[in-house]
Amino acid sequence: MFQGETAITIDEKGRLAVPTAYRDLVARDCGNKLVITYNPFESGSLYIYPQHVWERVRDDVNKLPRVKKFSRVMQLKLVGAAHFVELDGNSRITIPPSHRSAVGIEKKAVLLGMGDKFELWSEHAHHEQIRQVITDEDLSDELLDLQL
């Protein structure tokens, strides 16, 4: 569904314009309704889900046992921080100030299409992530079977 990397500018009101390549998809498949929440695995980025995908993720995360630390962190970062947005007449969404501040997103950011969702990275965090090199210790059996 979504794929690719796009440099994004966030305006002074915290709005970003959804790239032209995704606008029809977001309108048709998502009804212009998206959900913004934290990336629980990496700092410096947010997840932006189509609402219908988000509802499945939310339900799965809420089924996790609340007494386990990992589950609780997932519930806080994903469900507790979820913010519903709709594209405005100019195909923009507003990223909440608390979310932008927490992950360090300022004026320049990078939007990544990750299949069923977007990831919105601060430009700095994205560059740092790209510079990381995969080492032999990072490789799992699943990665060894990939045909890259």
Calculate mean pLDDT across residues 41-54: 94
Q: Could you tell me if 64 and 45 are in contact, meaning their C-beta atoms sit under 8 angstroms apart?
A: no
Percent with pLDDT over 70 in the chain:
91
Q: How far apart are CA 122 and CA 77, in angstroms?
A: 17
Contact between 37 and 82 (Cβ < 8 Å): yes
The H or E element containing residue 9 is: strand 2-9
Contact 2, 114 (CB under 8 A): yes
**Residues in contact with 85: Cβ distance below 8 Å, sequence separation at least 6, in sequence order:** 33, 34, 35, 36, 93, 94
Spatial separation of the C-alpha atoms in residues 55 and 79, rounded to whole Å:
10
Q: How sure is the predictor about 130, in pLDDT bands with cuts at 50, 70 and 90?
A: confident
Q: pLDDT tens digits, residue range 95-122?
A: 999 999 999 999 999 999 999 999 999 9
Show Cβ contacts of residue 73 under 8 Å, excluding neighbours closer than 6 positions: 40
- Residue 134, helix vs strand vs coil: coil
The whole-number pLDDT of residue 100 equals 97
The structural domains of the chain, ordered by start, are: 2-133 (3.40.1550.20)
